[in-house]
């Protein structure tokens, strides 16, 4: 074998700046709106976010410096490896070259610490002592528990009650990193107490957990809120993935023809894709035919089947309205095993770029994603997170097309996390208990009828 399998960077090659795609967008991003239909003012957001995060949220600067302390902390696992999936290529008999960026090497096992670390840093810098957040399956909660510990912040996590009981190991990870974890709805907030008064057996939902965390952050001056996806500053932080990948491709003199990533709230997809879009915007010849494809589940097909409209970020209509592809804020996705992809909306930046034709999207069925994940584990050795299996499926489909056409394309996908805490999902797949959920057309139509009306 003459070509490298593992393309690594030195610590001092960790990018010094994040890339902000807003600087290269054909149109300015649509603003978030409050309940009165007017753009949300920074003052309103100051109750729950530090100034520097808010500045990043609204920034149109192309390059934003990464603070030294954040780069130091990134060194615990970054630069992450760019890997050539040689054994997968052989198994498929494809002339394509398949690469993946392995974000599963972080302490929490996914890309999420890329944003948790700077969020904890800026909050500590602003004199905040505690962070409150919500978590569904536990991936964001464990990332913020780790990051809080790195910067000496207390972390309180409201974990959806059903996951709290079903995912004890994620909860224990958070506790090992010193976080307090409460099953939501809890007795600690008014929102939680109201929900429990109505139904003592309430099993919780992400919407309820968000409301509890925001209530706590808004009511205490020493406490702020953090969010693990969707918002502009989270996508900014995740650009480290694509920026490193570009340096790694430069080392081997290649450039991808297609970039793929799973897409839930869109942070890891924006993170890997946007730095390549920057080349396209700058007229780089290598990027002129580049395709960036977001991969989502058939059962929660936000970009491919949703409506581009203003909607709330959470189920209870607590957050500002964002212009995004949405299935309706009260859409309840089926219980698929890729918890990170069960979101009714999508990042406003990914949504707008998709709307303007600069990004593509594809939806894949659940069983085919596990089939792809198992083939990947048996060839490349790494057991992928169910979310990541979506990108693997789409990458394999691209590679099979290359086999048919004989084109030796270069394919890059984002391996957003490992699946070590998702083995019960693999168990259900192997025992034939996993099903394909069709596109829930009626449920989507019903919830789209409830989009907020204003103006
Ligand atoms: C959270 C998560 C996702 C989806 O979130 P995005 O914001 O769309 O990136 C994908 N993969 C893994 C492993 C996750 O933890």
Is 360 inside any structural domain? yes
- Measure 95 CA to ligand 1 centroid, in angstroms: 29
Cβ count within 10 A of residue 112? 29
Which atom of ligand 1 is the closest one to the Cα of 228? 7
Strand, coil or helix: 372: helix
How far is residue 191's CA from residue 109's CA, in Å, rounded to a whole number? 31
Same domain for 380 and 408, yes or no, is yes
Picking from 288, 265, 264, 268, the residue whose alpha carbon sits closest to that of residue 276 is 288
- Measure 342 CA to ligand 1 centroid, in angstroms: 10
Is 454 inside any structural domain? no
Q: Do residues 329 and 221 make contact, with C-beta atoms less than 8 angstroms apart?
A: no
Is 200 inside any structural domain? yes
Which atom of ligand 1 is the closest one to the Cα of 388? 11
Is 441 inside any structural domain? yes
Supply the pLDDT for residue 394.
98
Domain boundary at 195, 225, 255, which?
A: 225
Same domain for 288 and 419, yes or no, is yes
Picking from 445, 440, 381, 424, the residue whose alpha carbon sits closest to that of residue 167 is 424
Write out the residue range of the structural domain in which residue 24 sits: 19-66+112-225
Same domain for 424 and 347, yes or no, is yes
Domain boundary at 164, 193, 225, which?
A: 225
Q: Do residues 322 and 345 make contact, with C-beta atoms less than 8 angstroms apart?
A: yes
Supply the pLDDT for residue 130.
97
DSSP β-ladder status, 82-84 and 6-7: antiparallel
Same domain for 423 and 366, yes or no, is yes
Q: CATH number of the domain that 364 lies in? A: 3.40.50.1100
Can you give the C-alpha Rg of the chain in angstroms? 21
Residues 6+ apart with CB under 8 A from 450: 328, 329, 330
Supply the pLDDT for residue 438.
78
Same domain for 221 and 243, yes or no, is no
Is 73 inside any structural domain? no
Strands (E), 283-389: 291-297, 307-312, 321-326, 360-364
How far is residue 121's CA from residue 344's CA, in Å, rounded to a whole number? 29
Is the CB of 385 within 6 Å of ligand 1?
yes
Supply the pLDDT for residue 449.
92
Domain boundary at 191, 225, 259, which?
A: 225
Same domain for 131 and 258, yes or no, is no
- Measure 23 CA to ligand 1 centroid, in angstroms: 24
- Measure 87 CA to ligand 1 centroid, in angstroms: 25
Is the CB of 416 within 6 Å of ligand 1?
yes
Q: Do residues 32 and 322 make contact, with C-beta atoms less than 8 angstroms apart?
A: yes
Is the CB of 299 within 6 Å of ligand 1?
no
Same domain for 263 and 403, yes or no, is yes
pTM score > 0.85 for this model? yes
Same domain for 88 and 129, yes or no, is no
Pocket test for ligand 1, best of 226, 229, 268 (most atoms within 8 A of CB): 268
Same domain for 286 and 199, yes or no, is no
Is 144 inside any structural domain? yes
Nearest CA to ligand 1 atom 13: 417
Total structural domains within the chain = 2
Is the CB of 265 within 6 Å of ligand 1?
yes
Which atom of ligand 1 is the closest one to the Cα of 229? 7
Q: State the alpha helices, DSSP H only, in 337-405.
A: 348-355, 366-380, 386-405
User: What helix, strand, coil percent values describe the chain, rounded to 5?
Assistant: 45, 15, 40
- Measure 340 CA to ligand 1 centroid, in angstroms: 5
Residues of the chain with pLDDT under 50: none
Residues 6+ apart with CB under 8 A from 421: 109, 138, 167, 169, 170
Buried b (16+ CB within 10 A) or exposed e, 411-424: bbbbbbbbbebbee
Supply the pLDDT for residue 2.
66
């Amino acid at each position: 074998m003459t070509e490298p399998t593992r393309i690594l960077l030195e610590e001092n090659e960790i990018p010094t700046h994040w890339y902000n795609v807003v600087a290269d967008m054909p149109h300015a991003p649509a603003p978030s709106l409050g309940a009165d239909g007017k753009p949300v003012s920074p003052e309103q957001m100051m109750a729950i976010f530090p100034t520097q995060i808010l500045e990043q949220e609204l920034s149109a600067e192309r390059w934003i410096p990464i603070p030294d302390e954040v780069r130091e902390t990134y060194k615990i696992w970054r630069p992450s490896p760019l890997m050539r999936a040689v054994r997968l290529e052989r198994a498929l008999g494809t002339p394509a070259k398949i690469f993946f960026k392995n974000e599963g090497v972080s302490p929490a096992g996914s890309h999420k610490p890329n944003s948790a670390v700077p969020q904890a840093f800026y909050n500590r810098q602003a004199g905040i002592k505690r962070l409150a957040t919500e978590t569904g399956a536990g991936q964001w909660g464990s990332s913020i528990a780790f990051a809080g510990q790195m910067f000496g912040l207390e972390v309180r996590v409201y974990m959806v009650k059903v996951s709290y009981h079903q995912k004890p190991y994620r909860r224990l990870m958070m506790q090992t990193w010193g976080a307090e974890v409460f099953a939501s709805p809890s007795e600690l907030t008014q929102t939680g107490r109201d929900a429990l008064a109505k139904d003592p057996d309430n099993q919780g939902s992400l919407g309820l957990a968000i409301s509890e965390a925001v209530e706590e952050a808004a009511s205490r001056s020493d406490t702020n809120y953090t969010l693990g996806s969707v918002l502009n500053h989270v996508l900014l932080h995740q650009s480290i993935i694509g920026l490193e990948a570009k340096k790694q491709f430069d080392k081997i003199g290649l450039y991808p023809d297609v970039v793929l990533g799973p897409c839930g709230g869109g942070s890891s997809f924006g993170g890997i894709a946007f730095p390549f879009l920057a080349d396209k915007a700058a007229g780089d010849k290598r990027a002129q035919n580049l395709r960036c494809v977001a991969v989502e589940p058939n059962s929660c097909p936000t970009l491919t089947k949703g409506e581009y409209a203003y909607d709330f970020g959470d189920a209870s209509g607590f957050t500002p309205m964002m212009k995004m592809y949405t299935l309706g804020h009260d859409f309840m996705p089926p219980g698929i095993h890729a918890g990170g992809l069960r979101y009714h909306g999508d990042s406003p930046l990914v949504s707008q770029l998709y709307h303007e034709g600069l990004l593509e999207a594809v939806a894949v069925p659940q069983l085919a994603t596990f089939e792809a994940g198992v083939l990947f584990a048996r060839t490349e050795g790494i057991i992928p997170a169910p979310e990541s299996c979506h990108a693997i499926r789409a990458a394999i489909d691209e590679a099979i097309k290359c086999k048919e056409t004989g084109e030796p394309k270069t394919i890059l996908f984002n391996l957003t996390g490992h699946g070590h805490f998702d083995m019960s999902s693999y168990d259900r797949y192997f025992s034939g208990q996993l099903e394909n959920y069709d596109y829930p057309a009626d449920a989507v139509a019903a919830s789209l009828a409830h989009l907020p009306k204003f103006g």
